[in-house]
Structure 1
Amino acid sequence: MTTPFSRRRLLGSLAAGIGGISVSGWFPALAAQLAEQKERKRHCILLWMSGGPTQTDTWDMKPNHENGGEFKEIQTASPGLRFSEHLPKLAAQSDKLAVMRGLSTKEGDHGRGTYLMRTGRVPMGPIQYPCIGSALANQLGTFDAGLPSFVSVGPYRAFNQDAFGAGFLGPRFGPLIVGASDIPGSMSNDVDGYPELRVQGMNRSGGITEARMEKRLKMWKGLQSSFLAKHKAGAAATQNTVYEGAVRLMNSEDAKAFDLSDEPEALREAYGKTVFGQGCLMARRLIERGVSFIEVSLGTNSGGIGWDTHSDNFTAVQRLSTDLDNGWATLMTDLEDRGLLESTTILWMGEFGRTPQINDGAGRDHFPAAWSAVLAGGGIAGGQAYGSTSEDGMMVKDGKIAAEDLLATLVEATGVGSDAMLINEDGRPIPIAEGTPVKEVLA
């Protein structure tokens, strides 16, 4: 009979062989209330802007005010709607975008703002809430999916680790991490100049042959069978689900979804030779294969200081805007060409905005009082800006919304419904979103 100690040692050895997979929950189960709705094939993409993007130099410009800065604004394809000159491709697709210019929150700290925007809750109290990706994976995912229901590409989680997790939903609903910018070795440039986005834990450790791995897995399965007979729930069952999902993905055809090398060169180049651009291409491939929620991050992983532009704002934002414009615009075109955009809702946001005033270092500082987010794609009535800010950009004039309202609108647009409930570890129902959906931007 294997002792608990020897079992732990073996699991530790297996973790080394599998590559530490147990830290990411891959295979979420279908929520009970959606068990008989397998025909639903809705998807969501979060474009997460690490560091807090400036609204004044992107979606809500102030060209006739001293706060306006260096950039010019351009007319989009939608009458009266204007964007930055550095977002020309998105401007041409403005009919798919709804700019939320009246967003106003109270968290100007990176960590607290990240948690608020990604969970819809203030970071306080004993409850660990799931991020919106985990919450929607819980609602939209399917039990028999060959791929995880939540994939996160290029995340930078140092501001607040809890804001990127599944919270009380457990690791089954956590993200599969690809090309994390906060994990050494998660990405590198290949010979063609494209970033190689590596899936966390999918490859065997060096020196572990396939035959040796098979022996380890056979031994592990035997031990697990005996152990789970006595521990059918809790952490043991969760760990088993995670490991089984990891092994299935390692040995399945679905793993090819993460290999971008078979895409046409012209398309890869159109997306951009950046982590964000190639992450957007990966998002399209994952949507094609039925993944419910994908997030792609742009900020720290693109080099420099990302969207946290306390100094030299305009140089950084021009570069970031080009990355954003190439990746996001190509993603929407690609999805639309394949008949997938109508069933895919997209949200662009960061943890807060930046000050309309330009500081002495030609930068903009943290500013949660009046800023912008953007909704697009399926379920969204595009070609409009909802809400407005004052001439100097310092306050919301009309259409004021909170983080909770933005997430409620997103959840409504995906077809889940903002009144949907999540079940915590104590069996208590908790609303997936506590805000009020903005009906004016819902299709």
Structure 2
Amino acid sequence: MAKAVRDHIECDGFGVNVTTPDYEKTPTVILIPGLTSDSSAAYIKHLAFRIAKRGWNVVVSNHRGLGGISLTSERVYNAAWTEDIRRVVDHIHSQHPEAPLFVVGTSIGANVLVKYLGEEGANVPISGAAAVCSPWDLLICDRFINRRLVQSFYNKALANGLQDFALLHQSNLSRLTEWESIKKSRSVRDFDNYATRILANFETVDAYYRHATSSNYVGNVGVPLLCISALDDPLCTKEAIPWDECRANRNVVLATTPHGGHLAFYEGITANTLWWARAVDEFLGVLHSSPYIGIIKEKQKTTAPTPSFSIDQGPYVSVLEDGMVTAVGDEQTDDTMQEQDAPNQETANVTTNDEVILDKAEADEHVTKNDQPERYEEKDPNPTQATTLVRRCTDCLARRSSKSFWLLAYIAIVTTWPMVRPALSLLFKKRYRNPAPGGPRIR
């Protein structure tokens, strides 16, 4: 049976509390809890129990001021602060340099983990990681949880937890002055406005959210990373998931499920197990048994940097035969490249030939021509072909537009008929309600 012990790591004059079993020379898994959670949270215990059944070490890196430890400075944890997990990883690796090291983050802890991995790239002593229910983009999630009534209950619950945290350490947070506003905070954004952004030295809440967005760092993750998100998460919306960034990075595995909520994924009728805990446990087990982990990290260091694409580079568009218009950047056709290469080759041949000498008159004429402003003339070597291609694309788009028009017309009739029908009925009644001129009149 594992015996849990507590360790205290000093970070910029403040201690980070970690809970770890008394094992050595075995794989170690670091768990990062979510917002206002620590090692006593039920979902943390679920995952820790599964990992402990393997005989591995489990380390829970409690956030500052949580886990029964008081604050000794005004530095508090937030979604953008990665220095604490960096110190914890370095400390454990220095104690057990030969033991495989894994990290699992949940909710805000997942955001911190992904941001940390992106900041470090492949230069981390970690064999693999998992991020469960990460918010990815705090600005999008902030708009999401303030959008509907259901999300407002979660928003208020998280705000209450943050209020309790601030009030518990009020004596150490002298930089905060608007305590009445903190106590009246009805949402996470309110608390971040009156407390988090001030302690983290951000001018606005949105600036803090943008800086903490972990989706900006996914592309630079250099270790195997499993990301699990539920599409019905009431806190971390699917709109913030960085689909393209995850696809572009070969080290990232993105797993999304239709249901699961936020850190729920209950299994069975009694719901006594969590699916995501089992999935993470299996993922880490596969990584540990793979002989290619170290090789993959070494190759990642030599990988060419990701090319940057800018929409303002190269005002070129390509009109395809099927009517699609696509931007092609600074790319040019083979014919154009050949036409441009031909004069370049001729110029090179002239300049490298010692027998060709320009006389003074030719040189003066050459300078005079160069001094004159250039005249740009549009040249179309084959206007008929270009016109035919454009007409063909226009016809294709017209056929598609015709289909779309009739579809939109059908939708408009179906959706407006409940309102149009009473109006037409009333119109006919008004028109034909007057009796015939020769008919009897009722007085």
TM-score calculated relative to the size of structure 2:
0.27
Question: Which has a greater percent of helix?
Answer: 2
Q: Which has the higher contact order (CA 8 A, sep 6+)?
A: 1
Q: TM-score if structure 1 supplies the norm length?
A: 0.27
Larger Rg: 2
